[in-house]
């Protein structure tokens, strides 16, 4: 049925109507959460020191909501205009949260669930790096899959609820998941040859070669060493049949071995994905998932990963600048020289979001037209950048890049001790 629904010309209108018809009224109050991001940063640097992950932003937010009657708020199917689900007070950081702190908490949770850098440890147990990422092979080398070893299904369900809230609203939960996962969330069929190369391209190729291998080559390559076992994405070895680790695969049985490996790997995260889908469906009607392709679901939950200069130009407004002001020229020269990752970091520095769409408002900084080497300042609550007057485009590029990567704490809205 889904393939016919996707062909409907009224699909977009039906999605909008389904979301509107399933809305609930907004809550009477907004929960206020006190989050310690410095402890979260320490945990992110060395997760082994705290296996409970209690200091992660993800866990702090969930614990504060669970500790009161506030958890039920996340189940609500809020109107689109209700775009801030909780208020954040970052301990020892100055902030009056009018949206910027809340967006920052979502960005922190995203980074904890699926770190953007391959060189950092994964601070939470819910997702693991794909074999492609670990081996630096194949396509989609920055992706994660649900951890087959993690059986904390209520947490996966809560992740699904936040995904659903993102879909209904204007905010993003950026999860670097392959189409293999998104397809299962939308109810689309997954295929070994089409979808699993994004998870473990080496294994897909190995099994393909094995299937068409002659007997002499098979015995030369594997001898008596190949047994009925396979390694999952969490690096656990599992048996494919009873006593599989002590049963040698014969050439005549290789196709059955291949079938068993494919089944085990395709279903390795099935329970975790089902829990995420259950959470998603608490917030989004089944009809909406039926009407969305997996690519559309990903974009609605995570935003657009491509932060292009052309897209930024459409979303950026300069206030109190002359038409030919060199600051405007230097700003765009700097962003043109940025990588996509640089622009994503810059976007978060200004708006609290790491993906588009997000509007940006740029004003001259307090020094006015006076040339300075000061770092730029931002207010994520109003998505505003205060741009200094730099001597050259190169200096502008260096200062913007440094701020984007190093100025995470929010300390310009108020005194951090108020």
Are the beta carbons of 99 and 86 closer than 8 angstroms? no
Alpha helices (runs of H) in 323-392, residue ranges in sequence order: 326-337, 340-351
3-state DSSP call for residue 82?
coil
Q: What is the distance between the terminal CA atoms of the chain, rounded to a whole angstrom? A: 57
- Alpha carbon of 392 to those of 190, 326, 388: distances in Å? 52, 9, 11
381 carries an active-site annotation: yes
**Nearest Cα residue to 165 out of 59, 23, 261:** 23
Sign of the dihedral through C-alpha 124, 197, 157, 295: positive
Cis peptide before 357 (omega within 30 of 0): yes
Q: In what helix (H) or strand (E) does residue 386 lie, and over which residues does it extend?
A: strand 384-387
Active-site annotation holder among 76, 88, 114, 381: 381
What are the start-end ranges of the E strands in 66-140?
Answer: 87-90, 127-129
Give CA–CA dist 144/133, Å, rounded.
Answer: 8
- Alpha carbon of 286 to those of 11, 165, 170: distances in Å? 14, 14, 20
3-state DSSP call for residue 66?
helix
**Crossing angle between the packed helical segments 340-351 and 100-113, to the nearest 10 degrees:** 140
Instruction: Name the token pair of 412.
Output: 């310009």
3-state DSSP call for residue 120?
coil
Task: Count the neighbouring beta carbons within 10 Å of the beta carbon of residue 413.
Answer: 19
The alpha carbon of 170 is separated from its chain's Cα centroid by a whole number of angstroms, namely 15
Give CA–CA dist 352/149, Å, rounded.
Answer: 32
| Catalytic sites, residue numbers | 381
């Amino acid at each position: 049925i889904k393939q016919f629904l996707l062909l409907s010309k009224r699909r977009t209108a039906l999605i909008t109507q389904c979301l509107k018809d399933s809305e609930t009224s907004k809550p009477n109050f907004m929960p206020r959460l006190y989050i310690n991001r410095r402890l979260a940063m320490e945990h992110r640097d060395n997760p082994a020191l705290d296996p409970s992950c209690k200091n992660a932003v993800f866990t702090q937010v969930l614990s504060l909501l669970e500790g009161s009657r506030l958890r039920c708020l996340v189940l609500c199917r809020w109107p689109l205009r209700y775009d801030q689900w909780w208020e954040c007070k970052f301990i020892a950081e100055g902030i009056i949260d009018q949206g910027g702190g809340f967006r920052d908490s979502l960005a922190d949770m995203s980074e904890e669930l699926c770190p953007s850098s391959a060189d950092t440890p994964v601070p939470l147990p819910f997702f693991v790096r794909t074999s492609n990422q670990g081996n630096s092979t194949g396509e989609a080398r920055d992706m994660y899959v649900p951890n087959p070893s993690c059986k904390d299904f209520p947490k996966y369900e809560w992740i699904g609820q936040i995904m659903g809230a993102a879909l209904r609203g204007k905010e993003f939960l950026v999860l670097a998941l392959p189409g293999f996962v998104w397809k299962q969330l939308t109810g689309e069929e997954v295929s070994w040859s089409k979808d699993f190369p994004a998870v473990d391209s080496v294994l897909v190729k190995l099994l393909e070669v094995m299937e068409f291998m002659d007997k002499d080559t098979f015995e030369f390559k594997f001898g008596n060493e190949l047994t009925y076992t396979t390694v999952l994405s969490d690096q656990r070895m599992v048996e494919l049949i009873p006593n599989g680790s002590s049963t040698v695969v014969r050439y005549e049985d290789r196709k059955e071995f291949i079938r068993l490996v494919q089944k085990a790997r395709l279903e390795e995260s099935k329970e975790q994905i089902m829990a995420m889908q259950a959470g998603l469906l608490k917030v989004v009607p089944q009809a909406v998932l039926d009407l969305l392709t997996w690519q559309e679901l990903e974009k609605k939950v995570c935003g657009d990963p491509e932060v292009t200069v052309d897209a930024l130009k459409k979303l950026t407004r300069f206030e109190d600048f002359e038409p030919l002001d060199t600051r405007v020229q230097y700003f765009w020269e700097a962003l043109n020289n940025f990588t996509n990752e640089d622009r994503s970091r810059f976007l978060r520095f200004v708006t609290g979001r790491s993906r588009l769409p997000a509007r940006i408002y740029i004003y001259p900084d307090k020094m006015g037209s006076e040339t300075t080497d000061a770092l730029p300042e931002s207010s994520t609550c109003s998505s505003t950048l205060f741009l200094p007057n730099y001597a050259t485009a190169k200096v502008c590029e260096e200062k913007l890049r440094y701020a984007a990567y190093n100025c995470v704490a929010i300390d310009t809205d108020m005194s951090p001790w108020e």
